[in-house]
Structure formats: C-alpha cells, structure tokens
Structure 1
Amino acid sequence: MKLRTTEITLAAMFVALMTVGANITSIAPFLVIGGVPITLQTFFAILAGVVLGSRLGAISMTVYALVGLVGVPVFAKFGAGLGTIISPTFGFIISFIFTAFATGYIIEKMKKTVGVFIFAALIGLVINYVMGTNLMYVAYKFWSSAPEGFTYKMAWLWMVVPLPKDIFLAILAGIVGHRLERTVLSRSQFRKLRKAS
C-alpha cells in the first residue's frame, strides 16, 4: 500500500498529537484531578478517524503504537519499549487503532451530518473502552500484579472517572470534525486525492 506525501504528513501529525495527548499533564500539571491524569489520547484517536478516514486513521494509530514499541517515549508518562506490551494499559493503545478505523468507516458510509459524526465518535469511544478495559482485566488476571480483591467490576469502576471527560471530548471531536469537513477538508487536496484513489 503506497501512501502519498500528504497522507504520510497527516498520519505523522496525529502520531505527534497522540504523544502530546498522552503526556498533556507534563505540560499542564493542573490536569491531574484527584490523582488521575486527564489524557487526550482517546480524543485524538477518534479525531484521527474523523479527519483521516478509516484506513489512514488506523494506519496513524498503528504507527503510533509501533513508534512507542521500538523505544520512542510517546506513551503515557513517556513510556516506551517492548516491555509496554505486558502493561495492563497496553490494550488501550491497541484499541486506538480500531477506534480510529471504526469512527472513520461509519462517517465514510453515512451522510456527512453532524449527528453522524457525533454518533461515529461515540461508537469509537465505546470500542476504546470495551477493548481497553477487557484487555486490562485480562492483563491483571494473567500476568500483571493485580490489586488485592481485583474483579471485573472493579476494572469497569475505574473507568467511571475518565468517562464523562471522554464522552464530552468524543462529542467535541465529532463536532470539530464535522466543521473541518464542511469548511476545510471537503475542499482540500487531501480529500481530492482520496476520492481519486
């Protein structure tokens, strides 16, 4: 699969945005609320699907994961390396690929209304949470050191804290993506190239 220069540039931009989103609390420490860091990874993964489409959005998230695995500190808390694979939160990194793909795919197949963009973004969020939380549970149960009394219910209760933020940001990603589509992307060379391919 051959990528054009424009596509490579846009994919690289989202890799950079994911890196910033993963470590936003290093830039803005006030975004740690109750000891829980507020990250923007899910927002940018959804936005990648909204802006880049299913194929390129998924490619950009795959590149993000691979860049981190080879040792570039792009994950949360500037984590990196193959050892990250056994981290309980690595499932969320994998889920970003499917989040971007599903979000982009829904938008590609339906009318370009703001409601569709928001719906697609929320479906992407559901995929992120379901995959990430279930893989986190499996990791804690089989190879990571689980907290005492850890249960499947507990894993989901942990996700209640960031959920309102992620719902808000998913809706925002849908709205922003729709506005970009109407004002910039529909007239861009990037969209013309995609339609021609």
Structure 2
Amino acid sequence: MIGVMPTPRALEIARERDLDLVEVQPNAVPPVCKLMDYGRYKYEQAKKESEARKHQKTITLKEIRLRPRTDEHDVGVKTRKIQEFLADGDKVRVSVQFRGPDLRHPEIGRRLLDSIAETLKGTAVIERPPVMEGRVMSMIISRAPGWEPPKKQAPAPTGKRQVATAAAVAGSQAPTSPSAPAAGSQEVGDATDTQQK
C-alpha cells in the first residue's frame, strides 16, 4: 500500500515499475487504484471463468411422449428411459398427447402420469405436477436428492478362448467304458453287415 497521492504521481510510479494503474473502487473518496499487470490479470480472470465453465454441468430438459392408450409394457419401457435420463442428471418432461375423442377423458392421462410418478417415487421428484396445456397434459420431474443411479456391472467375459479351453478340458476327460470300442476298431457286427451287402 502506497497511500493517498495525486494521479500524475501514481502514473509515474506505475511507469517506473512497468505496471498499469487500475482503478478498483471508482466511487470511493478518494478513488482506490491498484498497481498491477492488467494484461496478466485479464488472462487469469478468463482462465478462472473457463475452468468454472468446464466443471459446470448443464441440465437439459428431455421429453417423453405418451398417449392415453399407451400399452402397459410400453409405459414400462418409457419409465426405464426416464430413469436413464435422470441418471444422467437431466430433467424430464413426461407428456400425454390427446387426440379427438381422447380429449373428453383427461383423467386417463392424469392416471397414467400418476402411475409413472408412483413408479419413480424414490428416484424422482415432481417439479411441476400434471397440467393440461391445450391437447397435452404434462409434468416435469427431476432427480431426487440423494438418489444415486445403480452402477453398471461389466458383463462376464465370454471369449472364444474360454469356450475352446472348456471344450478341450471336457474332451480330455471323456469317460471310457469297457463296452465302448477303442478308437480305430470296428465291431464285428458292423463288419459282417457291410460284407453281406
């Protein structure tokens, strides 16, 4: 800290030290200035901002579309897809699209969305409850706090080498019975049959 001084003197000191005079608090009386390498300061600020952006996770809104007459199995498939989206950290809009006569029965869509919410009870939190917007009823769900997606297990390796080794071991340990003919020999019955023909 240098203290209070006139601006020309502060600029002279900055030139002597090969630094810049940067005004930090312009509204203070007298204004507060700092001696620094302004180019380096800007570079470090940009580097910090890019590092912060790198570690920032952008949350996207995915959408799953259903119809009031969607089959139960298909709803199960869509529910698993919702869990995948939630595991990736995304929010999901689940929407039921109504057409023609289906519009007279919005309670069917409501029951469908409620059943999906019930299935995802420990996994998801409803951010926006089901709302009818024109011909579409939708709700928005996000990952429940504290929920961790199950870890994916690597499948057991089943390479050709293991199969070939298992076959070789099985072939070398084949039981030999006294009634079975030795390799290369023929039974007498077979020999006479071929001679008579």
Normalised to the residue count of structure 2, the TM-score between the two structures is 0.26
Structure 1 or 2: more strand by fraction = 2
By relative contact order (CA 8 Å, sep 6+), the higher-ranking structure is: 1
**Higher gyration radius (CA):** 2
Structure 1 or 2: more helix by fraction = 1
